[in-house]
A and B are shown apart, each in its own frame.
Chain A
Amino acid sequence: MSPHILIVDDAADQRHILKAFTQSFLPQAKITTLDEVEPALEALGKSSVQLIVLDLHFKERSGQDVLRAAKAMLPPIPVLMVTGDKSEETLQNLFAWGADDYILKPVDNLIFESKVRSLLTGRYMSPLAFLGKRGGLGSLSFKVPLQIKQMSEYEVQLGVPYYIFAGAKLQIQVGPFTLACRVLQTQAAAVNGIFDVVCDIDLQSISDRPAFRRFLMGSVETQKAKIS
């Protein structure tokens, strides 16, 4: 079923951005955008909304009124607060008032996607899951335990404990070689917490290709020897 998402923000440009972001990953979603608290409260009473994306500050009333109404619904509706204020006091208040999560302005589309998906499914989805999509999260660098399942001079199949979107760039250490790779495909579901990830190897990143070839051959011979 397509989710119904209510976006409440008094700034037209912010509604425009949040709606476009939502449509980019949930094209089937029904999205209602409203600019004031009063009609938002009315909308809650009339239609079934699965998620509210809510600004805190409005001219006349506070977004807190919508938040309170959303939490009084049965079942309560998850609320993602959008705020430009990252002071500890405001964030503590948001959670004390019942907000499920918050996102800071200016809103990053990938973090927004991970938060909306998490709230709609009730399952936490790390922003890391969106690495690689539209350039990923920039130059974020982290180390993960990789298992090399198969490798040729051009392609490597890895076992990774993360879902990584096609297009993500990885650096992997194989023996003395540091290889730059690009994810081609990730298995849709993990098996025992491990995703199969197929990457192509950027040949430019191999400074000594004959040595790399010999290294690969040596590894294969070692494996054969172990098996026999």
Chain B
Amino acid sequence: MKGIDLTVWKKWRDFEIEEESPGFFLQLLSQALESTPKLMQELEVAMQTKDLKKVFFSAHTLASTCISLGATELGRQLREIEHSTKQSPPVLREDLMGPVKVAFVEFMQNVNLECASLSHKKAG
């Protein structure tokens, strides 16, 4: 699975089993599926309108979610965008948006696939 650190996913699956919290990982992934596309869209708009505050906030929130779900490289790029807005003078890393968008699409595909697989197991 490209772009995903699978040890992170294993950690969540193990946590779910050890803590007897069935559905924990599925819920985590579902929340990411629900919230991140909107944040990504907000980041793109903020980047186009050069709204530093919104770029910072969208990149910051997206980065946390991506890193927590094993999309380490995507998270690192988003952190770079986030931190650049706090530089003196602030910088808008528009150059990173291309790779970020590609990595984000892959991330969403992987999360979708895993969600479908977990939902299938749950139903079965």
Q: Is the C-beta of B9 less than 8 angstroms from some C-beta in chain A? A: no
When the two chains form their complex, are residues A84 and B64 in contact, meaning their CB atoms are under 8 A apart? Answer: yes
Q: Which residue of A lies closest to B54 (CB)?
A: A59
Q: B28: which of A17, A87, A134 is its contact (CB, 8 Å)?
A: A17
Q: Is the C-beta of B110 less than 8 angstroms from some C-beta in chain A? A: no
Q: A57: which of B31, B57, B69 is its contact (CB, 8 Å)?
A: B57
Q: Count contacts between A and B, CB distance < 8 Å.
A: 56
Q: Tell me what chain B mostly uses at the interface: helix, strand, loop, or mixed.
A: helix
Given contacts A20-B21, A24-B19, A84-B79, contact A13 B69 (CB under 8 A): yes
Given contacts A84-B67, A106-B67, A134-B18, contact A11 B61 (CB under 8 A): yes
Q: B65: which of A11, A20, A24, A85 is its contact (CB, 8 Å)?
A: A11
Question: Which B residues, 22 to 60, have Cβ-Cβ distances below 8 Å to chain A?
Answer: 24, 27-28, 31-32, 34-35, 56-57, 60
Q: How large is the interface on A (under 10, 10 to 19, 20 to 34, 35 or more residues)?
A: 20 to 34
Shortest beta-carbon distance, B24 to chain A, in Å? 6
When the two chains form their complex, are residues B68 and A17 in contact, meaning their CB atoms are under 8 A apart? Answer: yes
Contacts of A134 in B (CB 8 A): 14-15, 18
Q: Is the C-beta of B63 less than 8 angstroms from some C-beta in chain A? A: yes
When the two chains form their complex, are residues B31 and A105 in contact, meaning their CB atoms are under 8 A apart? Answer: no
7 residue pairs bridging A and B, Cβ less than 8 Å apart: A12-B34, A13-B31, A14-B64, A84-B63, A85-B83, A105-B68, A134-B14
A14-B65, A16-B27, A105-B67 given. 6 additional CB < 8 A pairs?
A11-B64, A13-B32, A13-B68, A84-B67, A87-B83, A105-B64
